[in-house]
Chain A
């Protein structure tokens, strides 16, 4: 079937490829199929009583039915044997007496043997009735022992509770004892029922009684508590998230269901009105099953959700306004069939969503619905006495089974939503941080661009001024000097120096993009012709340079002037034909870049009186935070400038 489903849902080209969601669905399907299987194993497993207990059960009793004329049961000598368990047969009782229908008295002759090892003489003996319907009164040798009415609350006539009665030893004679059990019909009970009865040592019977009592009484109350807690939680979630109507509906169903147990909890103080309310609460809970199924499987309801409030409203108003008989008829012929129909529809909705859409929630719910159906089958078998003694009705747990699954699905979804929110939150946080970072960078870039733009405007203006004014005039002066054939006189030299410096200033204003290599390239372009004019050849070598931050025009001009001074000094005074300029990473701690200007002249560089060249170089290096080293010897002079990675 899986193959058919998957090939129908997917193009034929890739039938072998399984979607990961499909795999998940198969896992959920396996879980939800295993639930009914486990339930079946649990409920249809034969109950093995301890070997010592089995013989204590009686198969037979004597039965007497009260006469139609109302004679006392004890007076009637018409005892006849009957097999246990006993189920009231309409033929047994007069049909006209509706009140006393199914009223019957059972007489058991119990032989009490003192000192009997099996009986454990001297021990407390008890009468154990695993199950009955109606009310019981028990007498021992004519002395009234107990009535089930003392313990039974109004609603427990529906659920089958066990009864364990200690037989007081003063009343218990050695030999035959007469135990009489009167079964009476109670309101709401159609048939009386009495299970097999055991008489024996209390120690043997009590564990069996405890087990039964737990299942019949303690467990339902625990489940009531669970339903109340879960229902309130759902309502609280709905209060916080009103648009999730499923939490309201499901919380309502859980609380209605819990309310239907109120008579059992309140016990003897329960009255007719409360009993009726309990029945109505259960019906109300049933009327919400269909909308909840729709919401759970994520399907759009065929009708607006408020329509489903009409049925409970009708139920309540019919109870409050209509005559009792009419209300009862309405209940039996309209409302209950309607609710059963809605439940069947809900089942169809869930199973269809599970199979066609492979909805995980629907698959789980279908599994628990199957388990619930098994419980119903089990009860049908029990009622027809096909499962032997020690079996009890379990269908009260069917709705609990489905509701537990639905709660699990809802809580799982809630947690998943929280997880998704967490992930979303984290992603948003990361994205916001990234956006902020991008914005910050963009802002910084924009600021830098604005700064550069201002600088460039200023540079263009300055260049224009220099170009048209002082630079042109300097060149003119130079030309005049040359025309007078005095190209190498001090005036011409000074003018050349001024022109060179002017060009350095202009170059320093250029944006080098914090790239020392670009900056040095601009210097090379300017120094090379000057050195050539002075008859010196330049060799230039550049190793990959570390990044130097803060190459603003001021710093650039300082570096230019140091290099210019070193280069021109070498050209004028060293006597070397070649000048080597090198750039590379600095070996000094802290990294940075090392620039060297090296000649092969006669050295002897020292501060000369009246010349501030070297002092100026040192001052500029200091401004840059750089280290200036001048090494002058017979092999030549080397000027080394070590720049820090961050210029001030």
Chain B
């Protein structure tokens, strides 16, 4: 009965100490079931197909390829799987690229055990985190100049979603924004997940990655 209720998690991380630390944290959590651990892209693909976890926690830089490829494949093959990216710096460049590829959450590599487990649980509950930089970047894309022919059109966000992004970009916390908009903190994070999904629908693989970089470069502020 109990094992059925636990969330099936798979970890992909090439750096041995980090992998071991995170594995230890995930394994130690009651609500989670760490079903597989991979150190390379190839290994990750195989294990994913075998175990089909509920949540995939993956690094972006893998010795035999990019984590982005893994994310895209998983989104295509297992659309229901939630993907969380482990970022060293939490910078919008790597995180947004992962979101465009299909990830719905991110966490810093040196997060505390509480944060790491909490993030996985939030993600399964349909809640996604966002940072100021990422919000700002998305807002720029939505309200920036019209995209060129080879760039993806900006996601069609609702007014509420843009309000939330603006709030985050201006330094408000989820709690602040929830209070201002008269909604719950979790609803804010649900909106963020919707925004991520819209970004993903708009994605065109590597071209988007380039486009984001280009956008960051071309829009001065």
Q: How far is the CB of A181 from chain B (nearest CB, A)?
A: 103
Q: Which of A448, A460, A467, A511 has a CB less than 8 Å from the CB of B61? A: A467
The answer to whether the Cβ of A475 comes within 8 Å of any Cβ in the partner chain is yes
Decide: A460 near B213, CB < 8 A? Known: A475-B110, A476-B15, A529-B108. yes
Interface of A is mostly: helix
Q: Does A60 contact B (CB under 8 A)?
A: no
Docked-complex contact A518 and B169, CB < 8 angstroms? yes
Given that A456-B217, A472-B15, A480-B17 are contacting pairs, would A506 and B91 also be in contact in the complex, using a CB cutoff of 8 Å? Answer: yes
Q: Which residues of B contact A479 (CB under 8 A)?
A: 15, 17-18, 20-22, 110
Query: Hey, which chain A residues are within 8 Å of B160, CB to CB?
Result: none
Among residues of B, the one whose C-beta sits closest to the C-beta of A449 is: B220
Contact assessment for B220 and A471 in the assembled complex, using a CB-CB cutoff below 8 Å: no
Task: List which A437-467 residues lie within 8 A (CB) of chain B.
Answer: 445, 448-449, 452-453, 456-457, 460, 463-464, 466-467
Q: Which residue of A lies closest to B213 (CB)?
A: A460
B180 contacts across to A, CB distance below 8 A: none
B180 to chain A, nearest CB (A): 13
Complex contacts, B111 vs chain A, CB 8 Å: 529
Mask, B13-41, CB within 8 Å of A = 1, is 00101101110100000000000000000
Interface pair A522/B110, CB less than 8 Å apart:
no
Tell me, in angstroms, the Cα distance from A109 to B24 when the chains sit together.
155
A residues near B170, Cβ cutoff 8 Å: 517-518, 521
Is B94 close to A, CB under 8 A?
yes
**Min CB distance, B155 to chain A, in Å?**
21
CB neighbours of A502 from chain B (8 A): 89
Does B110 contact A456, Cβ atoms closer than 8 Å?
A: no
Q: Residues 104-132 of chain B: 1 if any A CB is under 8 Å from the residue's CB, otherwise 0? A: 00001111100100000000000000011
Count of A-B residue pairs with CB < 8 Å: 98
Does residue B136 face the partner (Cβ distance < 8 Å to A)? yes
Q: How many residues of A contact B (CB 8 A)?
A: 44
CB-based contact B20/A483 at 8 Å: yes
Could you say which of A452, A453, A467 contacts B91, with CB atoms under 8 Å apart?
A467
B110→A463 contact, CB < 8 A: no
Cα distance A510–B171 in the bound complex, in angstroms: 14
B178 within 8 A of A: no
Given contacts A496-B110, A529-B115, contact A453 B132 (CB under 8 A): no
Name the CB-closest residue of A to B22.
A479
Q: Tell me which of B17, B94, B169, B171 has the highest count of chain A C-beta atoms within 10 A of its own C-beta.
A: B171
Asked if B218 is at the interface (CB within 8 A of a chain A CB), the reply is yes
CB distance from B206 to the nearest CB of A (A): 16
Interface check B152, CB cutoff 8 A: no
Interface residue B133 (Cβ < 8 Å from any Cβ of A): yes
Q: Which partner residue on chain B sits nearest A512 by CB separation?
A: B221
Rounded to whole angstroms, the CA-CA distance of A453 and B220 in the bound complex is 7
- A-B pairs, top 7 by smallest CB distance, nearest first, are A521-B171, A449-B220, A513-B221, A479-B21, A479-B17, A452-B220, A471-B88
Give the B-binding residues of A (Cβ under 8 A). Answer: 445, 448-449, 452-453, 456-457, 460, 463-464, 466-468, 471-472, 475-480, 482-483, 496, 499, 502-503, 506-507, 510-511, 513, 517-518, 520-522, 524-525, 529, 532-533, 540, 542
